[in-house]
Amino acid sequence: MEITSEQVKLLRDRTGAGMMDCKKALTESGGNMEKAVEYLRKKGAATAEKRADRTTNQGVVEAYIHAGGRIGAMVELNCETDFVAKTDDFKLLARDIAMQIAAMNPHYTAREDVPKEIEEKELDIYRTQARNEKKPELVVDRIATGRLEKFFQDVCLLEQTFIKDSGKTIKDIILDTTSKTGEKITIRRFERFHLGENHA
């Protein structure tokens, strides 16, 4: 199948991937744009896995203050080089993540950060809820595990649905920028402020 330069350009505009990568993705997916986007995202994810042991000690601290000045957030987003830290793609990512924190109030960066006792406590609550709903004992654990997944998606920043694109998570948008910049990107820490609230 003939892949046109217009298709390649369109895919490049959508993903920011290189021309050759876009052409290969379109060829592999038979010219299907959505499948090509998915192919590139998976490739970005695979490339990010290879970079997992690289150090990230460059980056930016980005702040976002919500309209009215009652809610604000700060995030430290790290990458491997100062060059990438200065790119528009990286700065936009940091801005989007700070905005996400202000809007969605995550408590942890990743599910691995959730203390085991909190995870166990949540599971216990969901098991009790399922029993109170008269669910058969055989499915109580399965229901509780499903609700725990939803809990992770609510409280863990990387697993939250991105407020600007409901088809992606925060982890997805980081992987998208990783595939554009060619560098490992990590969220080092974040803080959310709400006027009048005490911080632990």
| CATH code of 99's domain | 3.30.479.20
Please report where in the chains the tokens 């109030």 appear, as a residue. 105
pLDDT in tens, 3-17: 888 888 887 777 666
Q: What pLDDT does residue 56 have?
A: 66
Residues 116 and 176: their CA atoms lie apart, in Å, by 30
Domain count across the chain: 3
One domain, residues 164 and 97: yes
pLDDT, mean of residues 21-44: 83
Instruction: Tell whether 103 and 164 lie within a shared domain.
Output: yes
Question: What is the mean predicted confidence (pLDDT) over 62-73?
Answer: 90
* Same domain membership, residue 38 and residue 11: yes
Q: Is 51 buried (19+), middle (13-18) or exposed (0-12) by CB count in 10 A?
A: middle
Same domain, 38 and 133: no
Position 41 in a domain: yes
Q: What is the pLDDT of residues 85-142, one digit of tens each?
A: 999 999 999 999 999 999 999 999 999 999 999 999 999 999 999 999 999 988 999 9
Mean pLDDT of the chain: 87
Is the separation of the CB atoms in 59 and 82 below 8 Å?
no
- Band (pLDDT 50/70/90 cuts) for residue 48 is low
10 & 105 share domain:
no
pLDDT tier, 152 (very low <50, low <70, confident <90, very high otherwise):
very high
Q: Is the domain of 10 the same as that of 66?
A: no
Q: Are residues 141 and 127 in the same domain?
A: yes
Q: Do 162 and 78 share a structural domain?
A: yes
What's the domain range around 119?
115-154
95 assigned to some structural domain = yes
Find the CATH number of the domain harbouring 144.
1.10.286.20
Query: 42 and 134 share a domain?
Result: no
The closest of 182, 190, 183 to 57, measured between CA atoms, is 183
pTM across the whole model: 0.70
Average pLDDT over residues 155-173: 95
Shared-domain flag, residues 176 and 88 = yes
Residue 162 covered by a domain: yes
Quote the pLDDT of residue 16. 65
- Asked if residue 199 belongs to a domain, the reply is no
What's the average model confidence in pLDDT over 43-51?
56
147's enclosing H/E stretch is helix 137-155
pLDDT of the residue at 40? 78
Same domain flag for 83 and 122:
no
- The 10 Å CB-count burial string (b at 16+, else e) for 100-138 is bbbbbebebbebeebeeeeeeebbeebbeebeeeeeeee
Confidence class of residue 51 from pLDDT cuts 50, 70 and 90?
Answer: low
